[in-house]
Amino acid sequence: MAAAPIVLIGLSHRTAPIAVRERFSLDEDACRRVLGLLRGGGIREAVVLSTCNRTELYGVGEEGIAVDSIHRAAARILAEDGGSNYEEIEPHVYRMDGLDAVRHLFRVASSLDSLVIGEPQILGQAKEAYRIAIEAGTVGAVLARFFEKAFKVAKEVRTTTGVGTGQVSVGSIAVDLARQVFGDLTKSTVLLLGAGKMAEAVGKTLAAAGARKVVVANRTVEKAMRVAETYGWSGAPLTDLPELMVEADVIIASLASPGYVVDRSLVKAALARRRHRAVFLVDIAVPRVVEPEVGGLEGAYLYNIDDFNQIVEEHLRRRKGDVRLADDIIGREVEGVERYLRALEVQPLIVALGQRAQDLREREVARALKELGEAPPEVRKVVEALAASLTGKLLHDPICALREAAHAGSGDGLADATRRLFRLDGEARPGTPGAGKGRGGEDA
């Protein structure tokens, strides 16, 4: 089977440490910028998905460009946008194409490839990435089909399996980690940095864990108050951070910031005023907002997303059966995509066959009408209708046979025979540039 037109390059928590991932975390403006670069790099369709734990570029290459060349071009664009070079990023990048890329997209949207299996945020993030690409004009028929299908698959996985049951998110893992250290969060003072969607998820988990004394701090104090008041907590501006940290036993950071908000000197000063009572910090922001050197201070215990492995593995063990069910659903849908792609392989040949028949029909109709001389209009219509009917009926069975053979994965021999029989030797063969042109065949 010919390679599908869709290609993927990316890096994630599976291939790159947070120190690498945070450099390639893209906000909406950066995604639009990269989409523009991809369109100029041999890719005619593109979607950029960037979350806390992954940055992925999905694309459809221009005709005549090898898949390897498309992968390299996309990786270089990602590297350069992150202020790096291809050689530095290359060990952390994975590349896929065709059905492998489609399967990966379905698993990502269904949260099977997430750090925390079943977390609900990824589907919304994928939809947002798709929306941005549509607005940027980089989504065409191929990516539209696959992304829309991915959203339907994700919904089926969530409604028919137990993958997403319970509280499953990076935020819930952060709270679980804090509970392992303190046991009972009802007696601890918690400082939650940030008031976005991730912070809201953390807040929900903290409330379920019984945390009572929680302060939500954010640049915009109104947003902090909105999150805090849901649970009867208090809100504060980030400018109060030096005082807030003196009281905090647990600090969970999920703040969007271009630099460190909590640095070593700030924590050192807070520890001194706390008389060196230990403070537990969990930085779930990407890029990180707690300076890594904080972890070297006596009495400061700093964790980030890459430190969640033990809890994540236990979480995955509990959901192994549901993951298998979800993968079965995805496998079935990928088979449908495969049938669609196989139909695309013979579509250029079917178009060429129809064009050849049309050319012959028009030539023979013109010759017959010339011999009839001044035939009345109704006679001319009968001749034209007869020719069109004969042509359609003659082509119907060969076209159906081509599509059926393509769906079965055995279309190459019949396609070659069709080219020879109808003298279509110049038409593109499956796997050659141009073989993916056209629409038609079974829906994926």
Asked if residues 219 and 237 have their Cβ atoms less than 8 Å apart, the reply is: yes
CA–CA dist 125, 189 (Å, integer):
31
Asked if residues 170 and 116 have their Cβ atoms less than 8 Å apart, the reply is: yes
Which amino acid is present at 321? G
Mean pLDDT of 336-344: 78
Mean pLDDT of the chain: 87
Task: For domain 6-164, give its CATH number from 3.30.479.30, 3.30.460.30, 2.30.42.10, 3.40.462.10.
Answer: 3.30.460.30
- State what percent of residues in the chain have pLDDT above 90: 51
Tokens of residue 388, six digits = 């069109």
Q: Is the pLDDT of residue 31 over 90?
A: yes
CA–CA dist 407, 147 (Å, integer):
22
Q: Is the pLDDT of residue 191 over 70?
A: yes
Weakest-pLDDT range from 112-116, 410-414, 435-439: 435-439
301 burial (CB, 10 Å; 0-12 / 13-18 / 19+) is middle
CATH architecture of 170-309: 3-Layer(aba) Sandwich (3.40)
- DSSP category for residue 117: T
- State what percent of residues in the chain have pLDDT above 70: 93
For residues 275 and 218, the model is more confident at 218
Q: Cβ contacts of residue 285 below 8 Å, gap of 6+?
A: 52, 194, 198, 253, 254, 255, 256, 257
Q: In this structure, how many other beta carbons lie within 10 angstroms of the beta carbon of residue 354?
A: 14
Phi, psi of 388 (to 5 degrees): -65, -40
The answer to whether the Cα torsion of 378, 383, 387, 390 is positive or negative is positive
The domain locations on the chain are: 6-164, 170-309, 340-421
Weakest-pLDDT range from 142-156, 301-315, 427-441: 427-441
What band does 69 get if pLDDT is binned at 50, 70 and 90? confident
Asked if residues 43 and 73 have their Cβ atoms less than 8 Å apart, the reply is: yes
**Stated pTM of the model:** 0.75
Mean pLDDT of 108-119: 91
Q: Is the pLDDT of residue 40 over 80?
A: no
| Active-site annotation holds for 52 | yes
For residues 88 and 430, the model is more confident at 88
* Per-residue confidence (pLDDT) for residue 444, from 0 to 100: 37
Catalytic residue among 31, 46, 52, 228: 52
* Per-residue confidence (pLDDT) for residue 436, from 0 to 100: 39
Q: What is the pLDDT of residues 154-176, one digit of tens each?
A: 999 999 998 877 656 788 888 88
Q: Which long-range contacts (CB under 8 A, 24 or more apart) does 73-76 make?
A: 73/41, 73/42, 73/43, 74/7, 74/9, 74/38, 74/41, 74/43, 75/9, 76/41
Asked if residues 193 and 261 have their Cβ atoms less than 8 Å apart, the reply is: yes
